[in-house]
A and B are shown apart, each in its own frame.
Chain A
C-alpha cells in the first residue's frame, strides 16, 4: 500500500539554524508530493508541492526536492525563525487513487529565540 514516513519530533532548533525534516514514501505508482504546515490552533495549510521526479517545490524559504531514486521529499530551510514553529506534514497523492491524500504522522518543530 501507500505510506509516508516522517522523522519523529519534536525537532528543537535555535533561531537561524538550518532545518531538515526527513520524509520518505512508498507508493504503487508515481505520486505528487506535498508538505503541509499546521500552526497552533489552526488547520493545515499547503506549504509546497512537487508533481514529478526532480521537481523542487519552494515557498517562504522552505524547499523540498522530489527524489524518485531514494523515494524521498525532505523539507529544508536555511535559517529558521521563531514563527516557523509548527507541525509539518508530508503527504502523497496518486493520480489514479480517487484524489486521496496519504499523510505522514507529522513532525513538530520548535524554534527558540
Chain B
C-alpha cells in the first residue's frame, strides 16, 4: 500500500461544530499537504507542512488550521464548520524536490449540514 491513510473516510457534521481530519503516513516523508476538491475548481491547496511544527498557508486557508506534532501525522481542523466547507479533502505526501511528485490519500468526504 502507499503508506498514507486518511480518517475518517466520510463525515457528516453540523454547521458551527469543529471538525478534525487526520492524515497518517508511514513513509517518513518530510512534506505533507491538505487539498480540497470541488466541482469546477479542481484541487486547491489549503495548508502544507515541510517538517514537524513547520506549516504554511495555501490558497484557500481561511477557516482552516493545521498541526504537525509528529512526522507521521498532519491534522486539518475546521474551527467552525460552514456549508461552504462541504467538500472532498485529500492529503498528500512527498519525500523531496522535483521529480518525486506526490502520493495521495483516498480522501475524506465531508458534508456540513
Contacts and interface: CB of A to CB of B under 8 A. Distances in A.
B61 interface: no
A65 to B, nearest CB: 16
Contact of B97 (A45, A89, A99): A99
Interface stretch (B14-22, B71-79, B103-111): B103-111
Interface residues of A, number: 22
Contacts, number: 51
A75 B112 CA distance: 36
The 8 A-B residue pairs with the shortest CB-CB distance in the complex, in nearest-first order: A43-B104, A105-B42, A44-B104, A95-B98, A51-B99, A103-B43, A43-B106, A46-B101
Given A44-B104, A89-B43, A99-B96, 15 more contacts: A34-B101, A36-B104, A43-B105, A44-B43, A44-B92, A44-B102, A45-B104, A49-B101, A51-B98, A51-B99, A91-B101, A99-B50, A101-B102, A103-B42, A103-B43
13 contacts: A32-B98, A42-B106, A44-B92, A44-B104, A46-B103, A89-B43, A93-B98, A99-B50, A99-B97, A100-B45, A101-B101, A103-B43, A106-B43
Interface of A: 32, 34, 36, 42-46, 49, 51, 89, 91, 93, 95, 98-101, 103-106
